[in-house]
Amino acid sequence: MNRNMATHPKSVYVLSFAEGWGRFNYYGTQMILVLYFTKVFLLSNSKSLAIYGAFASFSFALPILGGLIADKLLGSFRAIILGIIFSILANLLLSFSIFKLFCFGLGLNTFGTGLFKSSCANLIGALYHPEDIKRTRGYTIYYLSINIGATLGPIVYGLISAYYGWNYCFYVTALGLSLGLFFLILNKKYLLQAVLAPKEKLLTLNLIPGLSLKNFLYFILLLIGLLLGLPFLFPEIINPLLISFTILIFFIVLFITLKHPPAEKKRILAILILGLFGMLFFAASLQVGSSIILFINDNVHHYLFNWNIPTIMFTSLYPLAVIISAPFITVLWSKLEKRNLNPSTPLKLFYGLVLAALAFIVFSLAAAFAYPLYNHYYALGLIVLGNLFLGCGELVLTPAMFSAINILAPSTIKNSMVGLWFLFVAFGGYFSSVIANFSTQHISPNNLIENLNVFQHAFLSISLATLLLSFILLILVPLIKRLSDIKTF
């Protein structure tokens, strides 16, 4: 084990293990969702895609609601435990091939994810002393586990569904989440020491004989999770619901921010500025699931030594690149730290955006080398290299963002700020789809050369736009550091 990594609190690895299963749950379910609805429930492609979009949007939008619940009602540890329990119950509902139960299972699964994600990320940072510069490396360990889950989820779900049946996918996930729950409970003592104590006096009040406020709250939250299955049953309400939710969250965050003193307001503003640029990174990087996968599917030969690589396997390149680059990034930060050259948090976000810009230059070259006169291995190699740049960029940017939130957010709203970051990621995914639709609108089914020109220019445009945004962030770095007013930031 790396010597520096060995100095991290043991609970970092426990939380990372549980989060790995959470990501396994999300990405595995996401990968088979459209196939499950079209093959098992015989739904139309359009309805299946609408439900798929709702699952992705809710999974990234709900952590801010989960963060507010953790901050104001449950406390971080209780929110994590309840979120995992809800996800386990959800997977058991998903294992039944009954449409209504499946939809309610999806709703409960997204709500469990919302309760779990923001509190887990916040608790990682809370395990470190406020001045401990190892925090960002701790988040790198945590983020590595996320991408292991993201890589293994689609692969394991694909293999299990092919050889044993769809239902066994959900049994495996429920078992893995249960293991994560077991280790979290074993470390309860250490995890509770790291966070503000929940409002025990309030939660132990008895509403009526035999029913405490805590148990009543658990029941209400379970009911909310199940009711979130209604948008999956009726996809036509998804867009109005998401718009209403976003407006509500905006006013809640504004109200909470105005209640804090001026110094904390400035730090919250710094988080919002960084979150905005993080959102723009994901607007570019999440092209891997839209325009890039469309480019690969229709314009690149998939053969590797006479093996026709399934297109879906290319979606694992991005999280796999994060896993591969994690040890190198960790060692790099460690060596720079010893020489007092470790970049500030805003600069790390700048480097992440620059790496994304380089990735899309490489993807543009891949489109250029996909012409029939070139060997298709050139294009495949460049696609792998582009994903490696993107993976490095995400590993540079996201742990730094988690660390920034943990350092800057007021203690009473840390979970909410982590949830707000996931909402930024959700918006990044939305803008990614807008960019993909705009950049591929001139694609013609039977004109390979014209299509390659379209993709080449689209990827180059994304690269130039991302590079421009990165330099705008670089100009704003002094302002962000003044707003934070923290030397170690």
pLDDT, tens digit, for every residue of 463-472?
A: 999 999 999 9
For residue 430, the Cα-to-chain-centroid distance in whole angstroms is: 13
Q: Give the residues across from 304 on adjacent strands.
A: 307
Query: In which element (H, E) is residue 212 found?
Result: strand 211-212
- Return the SS3 of 206: strand
Between CA 421 and CA 415 the distance in angstroms is 10
Q: Are 80 and 120 in contact (CB under 8 A)?
A: yes
**pLDDT > 70 in the chain, percent:** 90
One DSSP character per residue, 436-458 reads HHHHTTT--TT-HHHHHHHHHHH
Domain with CATH 1.20.1250.20 in the chain: 1-258, 260-484
pLDDT in tens, 131-155: 666 777 778 788 888 889 988 887 8
The per-residue pLDDT for 194 is 54
User: What's the Rg (C-alpha) of the chain?
Assistant: 22
484 contact partners, CB below 8 Å, separation of at least 6:
266, 267, 270, 404, 407, 408
Say if residue 364 is exposed, middle or buried (CB neighbours under 10 Å; 0-12, 13-18, 19+): buried
**Fold of the CATH domain 260-484:** Growth Hormone; Chain: A; (1.20.1250)
Does CATH place domain 1-258 in 3.30.70.1400?
A: no
Both tokens of 282, joined, read 């994901």
pLDDT in tens, 187-212: 887 776 655 544 444 455 555 555 66
147 contact partners, CB below 8 Å, separation of at least 6:
23, 319, 320, 322, 323, 326, 391
Q: Give the residues across from 308 on adjacent strands.
A: 303
- Phi/psi at 304 (5° precision): -130, 105
pLDDT in tens, 415-424: 788 888 888 8
One DSSP character per residue, 291-351 reads HHHHHHHHHS--EETTEE--GGGGGGHHHHHHHHHHHHHHHHHHHHHHTT-PPPHHHHHHH
pLDDT in tens, 305-329: 777 776 666 777 888 888 888 888 8
Both tokens of 389, joined, read 């740049």
